[in-house]
C-alpha cells in the first residue's frame, strides 16, 4: 500500500519554487503534501498531488527534471507518542528511513506522515502487523 510522490529538481535561487507552484496552480493541480530538501545549490521538492499523471506531464512540459516514486503514507492519531510506535516498528525490523515529512488535513485528530524507505513492501508488512494504518493512492487523493 503506497502512494505516488513526485520529486522535482529546483535550483536554489529566488522564484524557482514559485515558478513551479504557479504552473501547478494554473493547471488546477491540488497538492496534498509537500516538502523540500535543500542542498547548497539546489533543492528537491517532493509533492503528493491528486492527479499524478497530469501533474508530471505538466511539470515535464515546463522543462523541469522530475521523477515519480512510491512512498508510504501513514495515518497517525494526533497524540504524543503516536509517531514513535511507527518508527520503533521500522527500527526493530532494521528498515532504514531515508526521509520523512508530516502533513495534516481538515480531518480532526489525525496526522499523516510520509515515509521513504528502501523496501516499501517489507515496511508495509511490518507496519501492518502493528496495526498501523497506511493510506492508498485513492484514499490519499480523497483526503
Partner 1 sequence: MEHYFQPEIECASREQIIELQNERLVKQVRHVYDNVEYYRKKMDEKGVTPEDIKSIDDLHKLPFLTKDDLRDAYPYGLVAVPLSDCVRIQSTSGTTGRRVVAFYTQHDIDLWDECCARAIVAVGGTKEDVVHVSYGYGLFTGGPGLNGGSHKVGSLTLPMSSGNTDRQIQFMTDLGSTILCCTPSYAAYLGESINERGLKDQIKLKAGIFGAEAWTQEMRRDIEKSLGIKAYDIYGLTEISGPGVSFECSEQTGMHINEDHFIAEIIDPNTGEVLPEGEKGELVFTSITKEAFPLLRYRTRDICVLSRKKCSCGRTHVKMSKPMGRSDDMLIVKGVNVFPSQIETVLLNKGYAANYQIIVDRVNNSDTLEVQVEMTPEMFSDSVTEVAVKEKELVNALKAMLGIYAKVKLVAPKTIARSEGKAVRIIDNRHLY
8 A C-beta contact, residue 58 and residue 29: yes
Q: Interface with partner 1 includes 11 (CB under 8 A)?
A: yes
The contact mask relative to partner 1 for 50-69 (x = CB under 8 A, - = no) is -------------xxxxx-x
Listed ranges 33-41, 86-94, 104-112, 126-134: which one lies at the site for partner 1 (CB under 8 A) = 33-41
Main-chain dihedrals φ then ψ at residue 132, nearest 5 degrees: -85, 130
Q: How far is the CB of 40 from partner 1 (least distance, A)?
A: 9
Q: Interface with partner 1 includes 37 (CB under 8 A)?
A: yes
Q: How far apart are CA 128 and CA 143, in angstroms?
A: 21
Main-chain dihedrals φ then ψ at residue 24, nearest 5 degrees: -65, -40
**Which cell numbers hold the place of 112?**
499523516
Q: Interface with partner 1 includes 10 (CB under 8 A)?
A: yes
Amino acid at each position: 500500500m503506497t502512494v505516488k510522490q513526485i520529486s522535482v529538481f529546483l535550483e536554489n535561487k529566488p522564484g524557482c519554487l514559485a515558478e513551479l507552484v504557479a504552473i501547478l496552480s494554473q493547471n488546477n493541480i491540488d497538492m496534498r503534501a509537500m516538502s523540500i530538501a535543500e542542498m547548497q545549490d539546489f533543492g528537491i521538492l517532493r509533492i503528493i498531488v491528486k492527479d499524478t499523471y497530469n501533474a508530471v506531464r505538466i511539470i515535464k512540459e515546463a522543462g523541469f527534471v522530475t521523477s515519480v516514486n512510491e512512498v508510504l503514507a501513514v495515518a497517525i492519531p494526533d497524540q504524543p507518542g503516536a509517531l514513535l510506535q511507527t518508527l520503533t516498528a521500522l527500527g526493530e525490523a532494521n528498515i532504514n528511513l531515508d526521509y520523512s515529512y508530516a502533513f495534516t488535513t481538515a480531518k480532526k485528530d489525525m496526522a499523516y506522515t510520509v515515509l521513504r524507505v528502501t523496501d516499501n513492501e517489507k515496511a508495509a508488512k511490518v507496519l501492518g502487523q502493528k496495526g498501523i494504518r497506511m493510506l492508498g493512492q485513492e484514499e490519499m487523493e480523497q483526503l
